Structure 1
């Protein structure tokens, strides 16, 4: 490898893409193409970066398997940054195996971290933790150790383990400072801000207040009955009843919890559960059926008693009932939560992350675009959606991941 290629590689490792381009911008040999691609990725031109890396992979000879594998890993990272979650994971796994077989442990570990970060984005925490357990960051350079700690923090936040997350972010900050890469330091600072940003709203006795992530974690250990509108579950003292697939029952449970210790008129329950403006006899009959189902579903946690004008929720073991609600509530809040990371997403990637159909996500995006809350660029399969980060709330509780005990 000649001196210019070596100098360009060192500049990229230090987070200086312009310095790297100054050395290899006019060269078209395979190593220069690869370095130019990585430099363009660091500068934000992901389309050009992907094209350069593919050209580099083709230019490397059949005996340069390691170089081709590194190009695949770099392209996978571009796919992750551009939220192309449908990028073939098998290609990344094959590249990682090649790198490990040839003793390139650092780049092999980087490939593994990319795989873990993808799993984290789509809410597959168990798989992410399993892969992460096989990685020991001790021998890795500071930049890779920062990536490790950011993944640990991300999993801990979604598991509501704030102390673990805080410790991981402290280690990430130290590693990023030693790496000396401004972009990495900014990523750590952005992750740390989540712990200081309201993650939910607590609604009780007609009042509400914002909760930080650590306060949400503490709430899970109290004896109060929590109707969790972030996860669509009802929980108390370790007992969890999921209503995620029973929206009518959850709407009734939430309406009753918001009014506790008072009751809720039948007409209000009909409007909340069935979205009917005027209650007729058929609605009242259906309400009686659904209340009976709710009573049977929550029998270990609470009862539902009839009053003269409606129904009231009666906790069996708790002395208090609260509602844990999302920081921002609107019909398409989950889509906005993913777009709030400031990255550009395709509708297919959003559908994969949300566990919804692509058509459902597309309708939500069209509605948000009509309200000027999101914007798109590109056409066809290259179309991407994004929005400026929404200040004042974090997306952690909107991501599709289970809480402990779910």
Structure 2
């Protein structure tokens, strides 16, 4: 390695991208291209950074597989910052294996942490947990230890293991101080602050009260039947019945819970579940079918009794019924929660994270833009969507989750 490349690398490590560019800005050899790409990423020009890193990876020969693998990892890190979540992670996995085989522990660990963070953004929590287990290394530098503990804390919060999240944040704070990276320490403190913010609202007949994540976790593991409007499901103790893919059943459960211990009339249920104001006998027959499906899904948790005017929820294994509402009103809460991380998202990445069609996401974004809650930057394929960060409450419960957290 020549002196200018070494000096540029040291400048990047110290967080001085302009100093690094001063040394290699006019060079087009692969090592210089890679350093220029990392510098541009630190300066926030992600598109240019990816272009330089890809050129560097192509420039390294077959005998320089290790350098090419490092470029692949750096490009994946920039892609994650850009919320480019499409495509396969096969190249990143291969790079991680190659780096580990050559004892480049820090970069191998970084590659696996990138896989875990990507899975976490997509709500694939079980796969993210496996990736984190594979990423752990006893010989990792303090910076990577801090990042690993931070991702562990994020995963713990997403699965409402608040005590485990606090322990992970304590480990992350110590490692970040040892690493001497102020930005990492700030990110850890930001996540710690979310523990004290309101995370949801508990509805009951006499009104509402706000809950933080600790209180939500206690409620979801209590002997109360919880209709969870944040993650769209029904919870009782350690039992979780998801309804995110069955909106009609969830709407019925929500309104039956709001009426508990009384009943609710059939016309109201039809209007809310089917979005109809003038029902006929076919709609009443459909309501009976859907109520039967909900009865089967709630078996062992609660029963639904027919009454003279409608239906009533009757608890069997629970002491009470309550409704957990999101901190944000509206049907677009999960979309707003993803955008609240401050990053610029493409519609394709949002669709991937929400497991929805791109057209559905585009319609929702237009609606939020009309309300002034999001805005678009760029045009055509370069268009991205951003929203101001939410500081009054945390959106942990609104983010996509792909496993049972009960």
TM-score, normalisation: structure 1 = 0.93
Give the 3 Å change call, closer, same or farther, for CA 63–285 of structure 1 in structure 2: closer
Deviation digits for residues 290-333 of structure 1 (CA, Å, limit 9, x no counterpart): 33443343242222234454332221132211011211131222
Q: Within 5 A, what are the aligned runs for 1:35-74?
A: 35-74=35-74
Q: What is the distance in 2 between the residues matched to 1:174 and 1:138?
A: 16
What is the deviation of 1:51?
Answer: 1.6
Alignment size in residue pairs: 406
Indicate the larger mover: 74-83 or 272-281: 272-281
CA RMSD of aligned residues (A): 2.1
Shift of 1:184: 1.5
Partner of 2:276: 276
Q: Secondary structure at the match of 1:63?
A: helix
Report the Cα distance in structure 1 between the residues aligned to 2:30 and 2:134, rounded to whole angstroms: 33
Deviation by residue 1:229-278 (Cα, 9 ceiling, x = unmatched): 12222222333333333322221111121222333233322222122234
Task: Tell me if structure 2 keeps the 8 A contact 1:346–1:384.
Answer: yes
Matches within 5 A, 1:123-142: 123-142=123-142
Q: Would the alpha carbon gap of residues 28 and 10 (structure 1) be closer, same or farther in structure 2, given more than 3 Å must change? A: same
**Aligned match of 2:150:** 150
Structure 2 distance, partners of 1:391, 1:32, is 40
Gaps of 5+ in 1: none
> Are the aligned partners of 1:199 and 1:394 in contact in 2 as well (CA < 8 Å)?
yes
In structure 2, the gaps of 5 or more residues are none
Cα pair 1:14 1:181 within 8 Å, conserved? no
Q: 3-state DSSP class of the match of 2:62?
A: coil
1:386 counterpart residue number: 386
**In the alignment, which residue of structure 2 is the partner of 1:92?**
92
TM-score if structure 2 supplies the norm length?
A: 0.93
| Structure 2 residue matching 1:185: 3-state secondary structure | helix
What does the per-residue CA deviation read over 1:48-106, in whole Å, with 9 as the maximum and x for residues that have no partner?
Answer: 11122122223333322221211111111000110101144122122223222322121
Deviates more, 1:89-98 or 1:207-216: 89-98
In the TM superposition, what is the alpha-carbon distance from 1:186 to its structure 2 partner? 2.1
Instruction: State how far apart, in whole Å, the 2-side matches of 1:328 and 1:273 are.
Output: 21
CA distance in 1, matches of 2:368, 2:301: 38
Q: Does the 8 A contact of 1:159 with 1:402 survive in 2?
A: no
Which aligned runs of 4 or more in structure 1 are off by greater than 6 angstroms? none
Contact 1:158–1:403 (8 Å) recurs in 2: no
The 1:64/1:402 distance shift into structure 2, 3 A limit, reads closer
Please give the secondary structure, in 1, of the residue aligned with 2:353.
helix
